[in-house]
Structure 1
Amino acid sequence: MGKKISKRIKKLLEDIKKFKSAYGFERVILFGSFARGDFKKESDVDLILVDKRFSSKNVFERGKGLWIKWHVEQKLRYPVDFICYSPEEFE
């Protein structure tokens, strides 16, 4: 079981790195059950995105389009929740 979890997390981390690079986010932080290693089959991926582009956007508008980038453009199949911060807010 441990090897299967390790492979799944390794693949997820590779996908997160590609996502970060493709869209130029300053920081992408994995948290929640995948970060702790206690995820289940139905668990979603919890990501904090930190980027200066969020500074000029309303909190409710920051996540718009991210789902499309994640699922459609990058073809990532993990369910995901994004929390978006400007660098000032995150620090």
Structure 2
Amino acid sequence: MQTKTWTLRIAEVIKQHYPDAKIIFFGSRIRGNYLKDSDYDIIVISKAFKGEHFTKRATEVLRTLWNAGVVGDFEVLCYTPEEFERKKKSLGIVKEALREGIVV
């Protein structure tokens, strides 16, 4: 499946479970310099993550994708809107995602 079609499907499934989600796809898949077994780098921002342990959030998103038949190699980072606002002000993966990524 083409990257664009696949990212739209991933976003659709995530938004069904997290309607307020803002999703950012970034990394080699978006830049177009990916290899056959490159993963999909995804940031999911939702109020629903408030109070949930950081690692549990990604597990839930991955389970949601799996249950919808969307199976692949995903690297998912999940933040509340407040956490994301703090993270985007510092150097790191969030800043990189904002610079090169696609927001859905």
Q: 1:82 to 1:25 in 2, by over 3 A?
A: farther
Show the 5 A alignment for 1:79-90: 79-90=73-84
Q: 1:20 to 1:62 in 2, by over 3 A?
A: closer
Instruction: State the structure with bigger RCO (CA 8 A, min sep 6), 1 or 2.
Output: 2
TM-score, normalised relative to structure 2: 0.70
Alignment: residue pair count: 84
Identity of aligned residues (%): 27
For residues 54 and 86 of structure 1, what CA distance do their matches in structure 2 show?
Answer: 6
1:41 to 36, 45, 51: 36
- In structure 2, what is the equivalent of residue 21 of structure 1? 15
TM-score, normalised relative to structure 1: 0.79
For residues 20 and 61 of structure 2, what CA distance do their matches in structure 1 show?
Answer: 12
TM superposition outliers: structure 1 runs of 4+ over 6 Å: none
Q: Which runs of 5+ in 1 are unaligned?
A: 1-6
8 Å CA contact 1:20, 1:27 repeated in 2: no
- In structure 2, what is the equivalent of residue 54 of structure 1? 49
Q: Secondary structure at the match of 1:67?
A: helix
8 Å CA contact 2:43, 2:77 repeated in 1: yes
